[in-house]
Amino acid sequence: MKSFLRHLLILLIPITIFGQRYDQEKLEELAEKYTKQSFTELIDILSIPNDAIFPESLEENIQWCEKAFGNRNFKTTRIPTAVAPLLLAERKGKKAKKTVLIYLQIDGQPVDTTRWFQKSPYIPVFKEKEASGNWKTLENYDLNNYQDDWRIFARSASDAKGPVAMFLAALDAISEKNFEPNYNIKVIMDFEEELGSPRLPQAVIDNRELLKSDMMVIFDGPLHITNKPTLVFGARGIATITLTTYGPIVPQHSGHYGNYAPNPAFGLSKLLASMKDDEGRVSIPGYYDGITLDEDTKKILRGVPDDEDFIRNKLQIADIDKVGSNYQEAIQYPSLNIRGMQSGWINEKARTIVPSWARAEIDVRLVLESDPHRLIKLISSHVENQGYLVLDREPTKEERLSNKRIATFTHELSYQSFRTEMNSDVGIWLENALEKAFEDDIIKIRMGGGSIPISPFVNTLGIPAVIVPTVNMDNNQHSPNENLRLGNYRDGIKTMIAILTEKL
Residues near Zn ion (CB under 5 A) are: 159
Q: How many residues does the chain have?
A: 504
Alpha helices (runs of H) in 129-197, residue ranges in sequence order: 161-176
Nearer to Zn ion, 253 or 339 (CB): 339
The DSSP annotation for 356-374 comes to: SEEEEEEEEEE-TTS-HHH
Question: Identity (one letter) of the amino acid at 494?
Answer: K
Q: How far is the CB of 194 from Zn ion (least distance, A)?
A: 5
Q: How far is the CB of 156 from Zn ion (least distance, A)?
A: 9
Q: How far is the CB of 122 from Zn ion (least distance, A)?
A: 16
Alpha helices (runs of H) in 47-122, residue ranges in sequence order: 55-70
Number of H helices, E strands in the chain: 15, 21
How far apart are the C-alpha atoms of 261 and 355, rounded to whole Å? 10
How far apart are the C-alpha atoms of 421 and 427, rounded to whole Å? 7
The reply to whether omega before 84 is within 30° of 0 (cis) is no
Q: How far is the CB of 117 from Zn ion (least distance, A)?
A: 21
Nearest alpha-carbon partner for 418 in 447, 445, 376? 447
Nearer to Zn ion, 107 or 502 (CB): 107
Nearest alpha-carbon partner for 375 in 330, 406, 340, 417? 417
Q: How far is the CB of 66 from Zn ion (least distance, A)?
A: 23
Q: How far is the CB of 421 from Zn ion (least distance, A)?
A: 26
Nearer to Zn ion, 220 or 502 (CB): 220
Q: Which residues of 56-92 are buried (b: 16+ CB within 10 A; e: fewer)?
A: ebbeebbebbbebbeeeebebbebebeebbbbbbbbb
Sheet with strand 125-129: strands edge to edge: 135-137, 125-129, 151-153, 483-485
Nearest alpha-carbon partner for 338 in 269, 414, 407, 245? 269
Q: How far is the CB of 221 from Zn ion (least distance, A)?
A: 9
How far apart are the C-alpha atoms of 447 and 445, rounded to whole Å? 6
Nearer to Zn ion, 238 or 323 (CB): 238
How far apart are the C-alpha atoms of 422 and 304, rounded to whole Å? 14
Nearer to Zn ion, 84 or 406 (CB): 84
Nearer to Zn ion, 51 or 159 (CB): 159
How far apart are the C-alpha atoms of 340 and 365, rounded to whole Å? 15
Nearer to Zn ion, 124 or 196 (CB): 196
Nearer to Zn ion, 137 or 479 (CB): 479
Q: How far is the CB of 467 from Zn ion (least distance, A)?
A: 13
User: Which residue number places its CB atom closest to Zn ion?
Assistant: 159
Nearer to Zn ion, 452 or 498 (CB): 452
Nearer to Zn ion, 195 or 498 (CB): 195
How far apart are the C-alpha atoms of 57 and 11, rounded to whole Å? 60
The beta strand positions in 306-380, using DSSP E, are 337-342, 353-354, 357-366
Q: How far is the CB of 386 from Zn ion (least distance, A)?
A: 34
Q: How far is the CB of 469 from Zn ion (least distance, A)?
A: 12
